Amino acid sequence: MYSQQGPPSAPSQPLTSPLPQPGTPSNLPISASQSSPGSFGGSFSQSSSTQPQSQSVPKEVALNLASLCKVGQDTVQDIVFRAQEIFQLLRTVQPPNNFGAVVAANSEKKMKILEQMKTIRTLFNRLKKICDKLDEVAEDPEDRTLESWIPMKGVENEFQNYKDSDAYRAANEERRELLEQIVIKNQHLKEIIDYTRNVIWEINSMLAAAHSFQDFHRRESVLKEFTDLLKNKSRRLSPLSRT
């Protein structure tokens, strides 16, 4: 810059000229020495005057209820997490004694606890603002109370009028018919189960009788063989007894 235009004659003038502060208009009157192309003040005034003034107007950001609820949920989770960290630090704090290491560790934990408490206070302030914003955005035009949204027992509400409608009567009649059909089907199934149980009991009784009959014949054959064996032995022993 200086090599193209040559050394400035009065370098102290542009440095001593007051610069425009943030928020002040840039079209203030300047001297002729400051408006020269080679001076620093003139170039700064030209660049600041070309900035569009429309950027200074902030645009309104449309907030979404879902996004606000998500931010509030994350804030609550962060508060709970930091509270758990505080309790963990308090659990590990040792009683004070004359050892320097214990005192240093306790002081460090104290600083961490104070920092967490400060962060929790900030998070609670953020949560308060989110709740206020949600109350403003989600304001109920009917101004209904919480009890009106929850059906309470013993309190008259609009749901009791459904019993007098035709749709409720038709649905109740259909429910009664279905219950009767279910009772008939259950009775039929009970009869089938009882009949099957009796058949199985009779089959088991017949099998047990057959096994007992086979055992009786087997025992009878064994006794017959044993008696024959005794007769043969007695015949063999009879000539010896005669002699």
Query: In whole angstroms, what separates CA 19 from the centre of its chain?
Result: 56
**How many other C-beta atoms can be found within 10 angstroms of the C-beta atom of residue 45?**
21
Contact 13, 39 (CB under 8 A): yes
Q: How many residues does the chain have?
A: 243
Q: How far apart are the first and last CA of the chain?
A: 162
All residue ranges of the chain with pLDDT < 70 are 1-63, 138-162, 217, 233, 236-243
Confidence (pLDDT) at 119 = 94
For the chain, the three-class secondary structure string (H helix, E strand, C coil) is CHHHHCCCCCCHHHHHCCCCCCCCCCCCCCCCCCCCCCCHHHHHHHHHHCCCHHHHCCCCCCCCHHHHHHHHHHHHHHHHHHHHHHHHHHHCCCCCCCCHHHHHHHHHHHHHHHHHHHHHHHHHHHHHHHHHHHHHHCCCCCCCCHHHHCCCCCCCCHHHHHHHCHHHHHHHHHHHHHHHHHHHHHHHHHHHHHHHHHHHHHHHHHHHHHHHHHHHHHHHHHHHHHHHHHHHHHHHHHHHHHC
Confidence (pLDDT) at 102 = 80
Confidence (pLDDT) at 4 = 44
Confidence (pLDDT) at 17 = 41
Confidence (pLDDT) at 16 = 40
Confidence (pLDDT) at 127 = 92
Confidence (pLDDT) at 140 = 58
Confidence (pLDDT) at 41 = 41
For the chain, how big is the Rg over CA atoms in Å? 52
